[in-house]
Amino acid sequence: MSAPVAGGTAPVLVASDLDRTLIYSAAALGLDMPDARAPRLLCVEVYQAKPLSYLTETAAGLLTELASAATFVPATTRTREQFGRIRLPGPPPRYAVCANGGHLLVDGESDPDWQRTVDRALRGECASLAEVRAHLVATADPAWLLKERVAEDLFAYLVVERALLPDGWVAELTDWADQRGWGVSLQGRKLYVVPRPLTKSAAVAEVARRTGARRVLAAGDALLDADLLLAADQGWRPGHGELAAVGWSAPHVSALAERGVAAGEEILRQFRKAAADGG
């Protein structure tokens, strides 16, 4: 039997990516309809005193309902600080995955046992962050590089002018990184380079173990979400994003036609139905 969690006993665990899966910036809303028919939106993130991320009001209601039927776990590549800006509707999730699995938050605090597990997984299995960062700085062109950052001392990412990226540069970087045990993911204007042992699926599996969840549902739009979707019992991906662009599929993962914020709403609708049905 599943362990009691916030919101009740929840044998089903729902793990979802956030950006461009459940929540959307103004540029990513994808509202392909007349303004008069556009859905009402709820702002769930403010950055530097400006609204940044949204979901539909319908999605907000679905997410609130979901908390009573399942253990909801945000699973994001965001750092803990970036994740802390988000205010999702419904009760605060007890568990959250940040830094692509580098941190497992329990009641808002990084779990030290999980941090030690991550350290062991990264030690000796891939090239160092310093080597990867040096390569990024050496090969990036200031003409299209806006920012270069390190996240939680675990991985690196660039903010780029995507339209100015040279043909083949991302593919060359992907080949270089793959030989050193790292993966590459281009999401909007951010290009992530992440060590392969650092995965959302491993952290979510730990949450499933702790909660006694018997089924895992998942959603995501990016290549960094593929491991999470593959590890889930049932999954969904939106009609936009990296996975859609390359035609990624798996037998137990549904490829939705909806794009933008409408996809986020449909994903939550599917989560709610599957959780109510027991997964």
Residue 4 has pLDDT above 80, yes or no: no
Is pLDDT at 72 greater than 60 in this prediction? yes
What average pLDDT does this structure show over 157-178? 96
CATH hierarchy code of domain 127-195: 3.30.1360
Which residues, 6 or more positions from 49, have their beta carbon under 8 angstroms from its beta carbon? Answer: none
Reported pTM: 0.90
Are the C-beta atoms of residues 126 and 180 closer than 8 Å to each other? Answer: yes
Q: Provide mean pLDDT across the span 123-132.
A: 91
Cβ-proximal residues to 267 (8 Å cutoff; 6+ apart), any chain: 16, 21, 22, 219, 236, 238, 256
Q: How distant, in Å, are the alpha carbons of 80, 96, 98, 119 from that of 108?
A: 9, 8, 11, 20
Measured at the CA of 218, the angle between CA 208 and CA 86, to 5 degrees, comes to 90
| Encoded tokens for 208 | 């499933």
Which pLDDT value is given to residue 11?
87
Angle at which helices 112-122 and 200-211 pack, to 10 degrees?
A: 140
According to the model, what pLDDT value does residue 279 have? 54
Q: What is the CATH number of domain 12-119+198-278?
A: 3.40.50.1000
Q: Give SS3 for 247.
A: coil
Mean pLDDT of the chain: 94
Q: Minimal CA–CA distance to 13: which of 233, 270, 216, 218?
A: 216
210-264 confidence digits (pLDDT tens): 999 999 999 999 999 999 999 999 999 999 999 999 999 999 999 999 999 999 9
Q: Are 240 and 222 in contact (CB under 8 A)?
A: no
CA-CA distances (angstroms) from residue 159 to 27, 86, 191, 209?
A: 15, 20, 6, 36
Q: What pLDDT, on a 0 to 100 scale, did the predictor assign at position 124?
A: 78
Residue 110 has, within 13 A of its CA and on its CB side, a CA count of: 17
Render pLDDT for 20-44 as a digit per residue (tens, 0 to 9). 999 999 999 999 889 999 999 999 9
Q: Assign 3 a pLDDT band (cuts: 50, 70, 90).
A: very low
5-9: average pLDDT: 43
Domain range summary for the chain, segments of one domain joined by +:
12-119+198-278, 127-195
DSSP at 92:
P
* pLDDT number for residue 2: 34
